[in-house]
Structure 1
Amino acid sequence: MIIYNNEFLEIVEDNSKVYIQTIKKGYPLKKLDEVLRTYPRIKLTNFALLKRALETIDEKVEIGIWLPSLDIEVSKDKMSVSIIVYETLDAIRENKDQIISQIKDALSQNHIVHGINDIDLNKLVPGKASLIAQGTPPIPGEDAVIKYLEIPDRKPMIREDGKADYFDLNFIFEIKEGDWLGEKIPAKPGIDGKNVYGEIIPAPFGKDHQLKYDKNSAKEVEENEKIVLYATTGGVVEQRQGLISVNRHLPIDGDVGIETGNIKFDGSVTIRGTVMNGFSVVATGDISIEGIDGITGAKLIQSLEGDVFIKGGIFGVGETEVEAGGSIFVKHVNDAKLFAKKDIVIGSYSLGSYLVANSVLVDERKGKIIGGKAIAKNRIVTAIAGNHLERRTELIIESLSKHQAYEVIQEKASLLKATQEEIVQLTTKINLIGEYKQSLNRQQAAGLDQIKIEIEKKKEVAVQLDREIKELMYNLKNVGKEEITVKKEAHPGTYIQIGAKSSLLSNMTQGTFLLEFGELNV
């Protein structure tokens, strides 16, 4: 079939291949290019031969292929179909009915049955893909929705004048048996989709989420297409290790002293009065001491897993030690030792005390740290450090380098892996022995019980190691961001240290102290 000819050349199609034959030399390559562009069905495969073909008379040179009038492309995911028409605009306009019929035939031959769009030939561009059919994507189901009882933040209330009220802290949040703790609206099924072949595409179910709670103090109940979480006991509601739980609560209306003796309690403790000189309170949960006079000379206030709140402050007289697995909130501290896994928050001042925490936060408007040491991993904030008598006051950030932190993490991870392997070995041993449980003598049965106890201990160790690794990973994000902020006055005699860099102030200053390019910016 002759596609094009003039006195210089002839372009023909033979068996879907395109050839050029020069009759007379002298036809410009640029003009030939313009001619070829008017034929969308010609696809050049060897442009380099064109110039040589124009200079060679009577030789038939293959230059490309003759494309079909139209072509269909189906996407890999079978969700869309494009049509490409290899005809000129004039040809499309002059043969509308024929083109539309060809498109429908092509769709039918390729078994395209779903999502076919109306064919608008006016929008077709020769040689360019145009969307002609589109599948219906599946709609994923709604994810499960989890809601929990909102536990008030343990933060000082901010009064209208902008000052913090450390006497009004929502600390112990008590509930009764049967109270609502949370609920889950289960994940829902989605709506199936369909590809261009009419094949069903299953919709993914919504993502499920589990209610996270302490099974010893809460239970799930199915109600009105929801799973509702209720307290199975009264007590203090808390979030511990990612679980909502209700812990036992010991309220003491008066003081801890001769009448009560030292307190040791598995749960949370609220003391309406004070803790007398020389007495101790140890609890697994939160400890709230609400007497406005605070405590004087108490020996030990220790929350193993929770927070400690002392409304009136601490007069330690060199004897008092306060420890918290969480944070410590106190109005003021005088001559005492405080250790917190999280933060120490002080409303007024710290005088001659030893403070160790992730962060030490003293009221930035009027708070003072005078004498003693404040040691933190992340940051220290106060309004005033030291005093006009130049009393030595140490503000220290003890931080690991990233290299050191990684080494500690790897060490703990190895220990965790070894502990988990030991648990698996012991569990396997129990399962093997369990097959002969009925024939065990008393001594063998006691040995089996001992293995079970050992497994539980190792599980506790594994949980603790996992918690420590996560804490180290979290702290690792803040490596290099440690800072000490003294908002108003850092007096001479104030010692500033971050990591291995330190400085003893000899002049009054203020501001935020941190490491810049490896050096302390004092």
Structure 2
Amino acid sequence: MLRPELIEFSQDNQKAELRIVPSLHGPITEDDLRQLLALPDFSCLGPLQAAITQAVIQVNQLHPKDEGKIELFFEIGERRDAEISFDVSSDKMQASMILTAAFGGKDLGLRDVLRNLKLQRISMGLSKAKIDALLTEFATLLPGIKCHGIIANGRAAVNGTSAKLDRKVSLARERLLQPQQNSDGTVDMRNLGAVIMVKPGNLLIVKHPATQGVDGYNVYGEKLNAKPGKDIKFTAGNGTEFSPDDPNQLIATVAGQPVETPSGMQVDDVLQIKNVDVGFGHVDFKGSVLITGDVGEGMVVKSQGDITVMGFVDSATLEAKGDITVSKGIIGRQLKDLSLSTKLTAQGQISAQFVQYSQLNALGNILVTKQLLHSHTKTEQQLIVSDASGRRGDLVGGKAEANKGIKAVALGATADTKTEVFCAMELTDLKEQLKQLDQSIKSMVVAGLNIEAQLRKLPPKTQWQGDAMMVEQVTVMLDEKRRISAIRAQEELEYDTLKMEVDNYYKHYYIDARKHVFSNVELHIGTAFQRTQREHGPCRIRNQNKEINFDYSH
């Protein structure tokens, strides 16, 4: 080991100086110099690695040549103050603090931490407990050792929830799924209970308003704006009014049948008829129509509300602004021109137990609880061919189209009946809507920036605040900026919702067969197509990578 007197403090007591004669003390190693720095007086100093390496090289080069005339001088250690640094995540939502223990220099305390946080502009989401814990750990560290930990977290913005309408009364269509229970516990599938009626004062529907959301912030205190929830129209239809105690509650003002509308409900007068036949004539009524018997061949029934038929519909035409509910069956025939004799069109839902050789078109769901045979059905929503238990429901023959998916107990038949099934065919249209929304949002961003640029060019307020015309112009610009900002926020919310639907389109919309898919069923899901060649068991059928995929795990 080298003699201790070769190392001493510099005059300012900040560094360790090595004075060495190569011929007397060489050759040396880096470990020799580190042992000198390990002496009690110098152990608190930080080694200067580059100087240590250079000292070893120079001493060893001169050792065999020098005759004791040359003394070399090196600074191989120094005092270093404790160090503090911060690491902020790329999204500015998290900040970590790194503390390095001092080499004989100045230590750090809470005041130093706070001063450095201020210099780095880290001001929000700080945890005093985490800072104190890190300082406590730091106090136990050996010189040069580091400790680190998260000391600040931003708060993400919480977007508002969209408004929704919560219906409090049942509708006629729901009776199909709620057969009445007999006193002995059995269920009478033919007894669907009383017709749904309401009285004045009955609560019909409650609106849960959209929320604004909660703004967030990052660790620099920069505001993260929450997107407000999307509002929806809530209107009082005929026979209803908003509650005087709560404008978000809609109540009935007359007795009648509740009918769901796109923005609320209405209560219709109910025209009650035993049978619609040649003896009664066609029906065109502004309210809802209740037919306790059947609708006969060639008859036409039109309603501004719901149409409820307690019996059968046979080769007739029904049109409703609301729902069409047929408690028993819908029966038709194929005509010479290959069209079907029974036609039902509803802006709401269509529900029946049994459908045969009929054409059904609905904006809402189409629900058939037993059999859908050789018919043409088209819905903007779901086609469901199943009873409440999921044990019975056959979709056989014809053509079925449903934008939001198809659920049936069995598709096709053992006789290889040709059955065409279409779902999830709107992806191209949705992508076009998404593109248009994106363009609209970008145009509003540009418009907003233009207004901001005009506002920045204004002279100081003191120069124009007395000019009424100028004040009016500025007010108009500010109002327009707020209007654009509000529309942009709403469209951004719509964009996010639509993009999520597009991104997950084929995950959400598919064909569900609970028991069987027989052969000769033509499956169309978006651009994917396959005609079944064999029978399949219970499965979920999707468009996966533009091909029909059968998933039996469900």
TM-score by length of 2: 0.56
User: Aligned residue for 1:157?
Assistant: 178
1:379 to 406, 410, 420: 406
Retained in 1: the 8 A contact 2:204–2:250?
yes
Cα distance in 1 for residues equivalent to 2:439 and 2:57: 78
Question: Which whole-Å deviations, capped at 9, do the CAs of 1:319-351 have from their partners, x for residues lacking one?
Answer: 211123343211111222222344432222233
SS at match of 1:312: strand
Q: 1:168 to 1:130 in 2, by over 3 A?
A: same
Question: Residues 100-499 of structure 1 correspond to what in structure 2 (within 5 A)?
Answer: 103=109, 123=137, 124-126=139-141, 127-128=145-146, 148-152=166-170, 154=174, 156-157=177-178, 165=189, 168=192, 174=198, 176-177=200-201, 179=203, 181-182=205-206, 212-214=233-235, 228-231=248-251, 233-234=253-254, 240-241=261-262, 243-257=263-277, 261-265=281-285, 268-289=288-309, 291=310, 293-298=311-316, 300-304=317-321, 306-318=322-334, 319-357=341-379, 359-363=382-386, 365-377=391-403, 378-379=405-406, 381-383=408-410, 385-386=412-413, 390=415, 392-397=417-422, 400=425, 405-406=427-428, 409-410=431-432, 477-478=505-506, 482-483=510-511, 485=513, 487-488=515-516, 490=518, 494-498=520-524
Given residue 385 of structure 2, which amino acid in structure 1 is its aligned partner?
V
Q: 1:42 to 1:146 in 2, by over 3 A?
A: farther
Cα distance in 1 for residues equivalent to 2:323 and 2:330: 16
Q: 1:6 to 1:284 in 2, by over 3 A?
A: farther
Cα distance in 2 for residues equivalent to 1:41 and 1:271: 99
Question: Which whole-Å deviations, capped at 9, do the CAs of 1:158-216 have from their partners, x for residues lacking one?
Answer: 899999958649995746357363366997999xx9x9xxxx99999997885751255
CA RMSD of aligned residues (A): 6.2
2:101 to 78, 86, 96: 86
Q: 1:164 to 1:509 in 2, by over 3 A?
A: farther
Q: 1:362 to 1:54 in 2, by over 3 A?
A: same
Cα distance in 2 for residues equivalent to 1:109 and 1:415: 47
Retained in 1: the 8 A contact 2:301–2:319?
yes
Segment drifting more, 120-129 vs 336-345: 120-129
Cα distance in 2 for residues equivalent to 1:511 and 1:189: 42
Question: Which whole-Å deviations, capped at 9, do the CAs of 1:358-389 have from their partners, x for residues lacking one?
Answer: 544333534334443434453352436335xx
Retained in 2: the 8 A contact 1:343–1:361?
yes
Cα distance in 2 for residues equivalent to 1:352 and 1:143: 43
Q: 1:294 to 1:370 in 2, by over 3 A?
A: same
Segment drifting more, 24-33 vs 347-356: 24-33
User: Aligned residue for 1:21?
Assistant: 18
Equivalenced residues, count = 442
TM-score by length of 1: 0.59
- What is the percent sequence identity of the aligned residues? 15
Retained in 2: the 8 A contact 1:50–1:63?
yes
Given residue 372 of structure 1, which amino acid in structure 2 is its aligned partner?
G
Q: 1:324 to 1:171 in 2, by over 3 A?
A: farther
SS at match of 1:55: helix
Retained in 1: the 8 A contact 2:96–2:150?
yes
Residue 84 of structure 1 and its aligned partner are, at CA, apart by 4.9
Cα distance in 2 for residues equivalent to 1:35 and 1:483: 80
Given residue 68 of structure 1, which amino acid in structure 2 is its aligned partner?
D
Given residue 368 of structure 1, which amino acid in structure 2 is its aligned partner?
D
Retained in 1: the 8 A contact 2:97–2:151?
yes
**Long gaps (5+) in structure 1:** 93-97, 422-465
